[in-house]
Chains A and B, each alone.
Chain A
Amino acid sequence: MVNAAVSRARPPATPHEALDRATLVAAKRGEPWAARRLVECTQRSVHRFVWRMLGPRAHRATVEELVQDTYARVFRALPRYDVDGAARFTTWMLTLAHRTVIDELRRKRPQLLPLEGTSEGTPQQRPDRQRERADLGERIAAAVEQLSPSLRAAFILRAYHDRTYPEIAEALGVDLGTVKSRIHRARKALMAALEEVRHDG
């Protein structure tokens, strides 16, 4: 496996993920169609974030329960969100998702359940490659699990949700320097934990 420097530029928003201002304003008024569109546009991102934050303990039922809790928070807090403000809506929503996950992690230790079928969008791969990929994913999940929740959140937001450092700082409610430090420490810890995998690759 190549240890290459990867510049993870923000991908362009797909039409499915586009959430225009009119929809947000309508959602703030409680329009049902806008609420549905808001959920449809953002739930994959929230779902992935919650799943990865829970790590190997993630279970479909648990994750979807937390996603529902997150959206209940979102709609309760929606009147306070400034549509014309500087914060992106998805970043603001990931803030609430992060708080929901942290609350869950503090409340109880999730059950240790194996990862379910997480092969998404790779049906054309050979079974042996799929198995290899799944094993690798489990090792990464286990390594991320070893991080503290604060490091984990910063790393996931950066690596999987393409948030900028200021956005991560806003989402986690910490300083920009803290975000840089956390991401650096998280990356260092993961590289050490995955040293064997990297050399094997």
Chain B
Amino acid sequence: MTDDHNDHFPSELLDAWDVAPPSPGLTDRILARSADALADLRAPSFDAAASIDPEPLEATAMQPTDNVRSLRPFLTTALIAAAAAAALLLAFVAGRSTTPEAVKPAVPNVRIEVAAPSPTAPTPAPIETAPTPEAPPAIAPEQDAVSPSAEAQAAAATSKRHAARRRTRPTSADLKNPFADDDDKASPFEGSSAPVKDPFATDKPGSKATGVQGVMPSVIACVSGTGSWRVKTEFVLSSTGRVVRVRQLDDTLSSRDWACAEKALRKARFEATGETEVRDMTLSFESAVQDGADSKPKKKKKTSVLRIGTESGVASAQVRVDGRPMGTTPLARVQVTPGTHRVQFTWPDGRTMTKVVHVRDGAAAVVRGG
């Protein structure tokens, strides 16, 4: 069978279908659009380089531009490798704080130290506690009060190193523990019958505390976690136990962890403010997390289904369930909580209709607008 077999078609019909000629500048636009592809054609590839016949060196001496072009694949490979290495490094660094162990420590304890700044100190400095690899034992108040323990010294040394790194934050060694018995000053919580004035209530904390008699210094609580849960957080409590300032020194905590830690501290503040001999307490982080979880209202599960549509012959409508846009009808399956819901239909012409439907747990209800 030849090509022309059955090739019967009126040529007049074919010829009548003319097309417009290309624009005069089409060639230039085509070449401009294809500039990248043409540049790639000019750049030698590995295969092209391999297929070149060997020639004398002087004949194959490349110009600098040719040299750069020939190095392009190598440079590209090197760049990709460098980017991959950087991504791996970033993932490793991020993984140290985002691993599951970091979110939930193996030894989930929160250690809260409560102290007060020196009344003469113009600005209350934080007490920093180095994270310990294991759960810190509850330090007996008597031990800590009589003399600084080796652990406290180690903590102070660690704090010095941290402060040296930051160079902006004072170390714990700069602080005087007002609760220590070897300090001549009495505890600020003892016998303070003078009217209490919170220096942190002002914009310049501590500025009014200097030299002012009877001013109750606020309590600074430094919360540190253990293990990989490294928290360095300053809570500044007023003498009434109110948290007047919170400063998170380490941003590795999620907002939920942060809220739980704060909640745990608030639970302890009453003891901290009411009982002056309590200076070190160990709280269970897990219990704090549980408390935080319990404090949140539990969401109802969406165990019911609404099937929303319009009557036959009625145009599709935009649907809102309880004010939340759900889409356009037909909606085969809208998961809702058991109970009463308000379904609103809005048609393109502006007409609206609202239906209230009650659906039981696990049941499905059909709502039709129109």
Contacts and interface: CB of A to CB of B under 8 A. Distances in A.
Interface of A: 1-8, 27-30, 32, 35-36, 39-40, 43-44, 47-48, 51-52, 58, 60, 64, 67-69, 71-72, 74-76, 78-79, 116-122, 133, 136-137, 140-141, 144, 158-160, 164-165, 180, 183-184, 187, 190-191, 194, 197-198, 201
18 contacts: A2-B10, A3-B8, A8-B4, A30-B39, A32-B38, A35-B31, A35-B38, A39-B31, A43-B27, A47-B26, A64-B23, A64-B29, A75-B41, A76-B37, A118-B18, A120-B18, A198-B10, A198-B13
B314 interface: no
Contacts of B33: 68-69, 71-72
A125 B39 CA distance: 46
Given A29-B42, A30-B38, A43 B12 contact: no
Given A68-B29, A137-B17, A187-B9, 7 more contacts: A6-B11, A30-B38, A30-B43, A36-B27, A71-B30, A122-B18, A159-B14
Contact of A2 (B12, B26, B34): B12
A191 B6 CA distance: 13
B20 interface: yes
A186 to B, nearest CB: 10
Contacts of B150: none
Contacts of B17: 52, 136-137, 140-141, 144, 160
Contacts of A78: 37, 41
A5 B7 contact: yes
A8 B41 CA distance: 37
Contact of A43 (B8, B16, B22): B22
Contacts of B6: 183-184, 187
A52 B19 contact: yes
B16 A137 contact: yes
Nearest to A54: B19
B66 interface: no
Nearest to A140: B17
A191 B7 CA distance: 12
Contact of A64 (B12, B22, B43): B22
Contact of B27 (A2, A5, A40, A58): A40
A44 to B, nearest CB: 6
A138 B9 CA distance: 17
B57 interface: no
A74 B37 CA distance: 9
B162 to A, nearest CB: 57
B1 to A, nearest CB: 7
A35 B13 CA distance: 35
B3 interface: yes
B40 A119 contact: no
Contacts of B21: 44, 47, 120
Interface string B265-283: 0000000000000000000
